[in-house]
Amino acid sequence: MKYKFEIIETLSRIVEIDAPTYDDAYHKMREMYRNEDIVLDANDYRDTEFRDLEE
């Protein structure tokens, strides 16, 4: 018999963005992430979750 499991790893980092408005900061942060100026790695590890997938 075969069983399926889902493994979920959570990475998290707090970044500060200097901008005139919240919207500007949000868009700047998203662009930085998309351009890989912000890259989460093993140092940002927070949690691992295991879920069984019943069929």
Residue range 38-51: mean pLDDT, rounded: 98
d(CA 7, CA 42): 16
46 pLDDT above the threshold of 80: yes
Find how far residue 41's CA is from the centre of its chain: 10
The mean pLDDT of the chain is 97
Which pLDDT does position 54 carry in this prediction?
83
Residue position matching structure tokens 């919207």:
23
Q: What pLDDT was estimated at residue 55?
A: 65
Indicate if the pLDDT at residue 53 is higher than 80. yes
Contact residues for 5 (Cβ-Cβ < 8 A; gap 6+): 50, 51, 52, 53
What percentage of the chain reaches a pLDDT higher than 70? 98
- Mean pLDDT over 1-13 rounds to 96
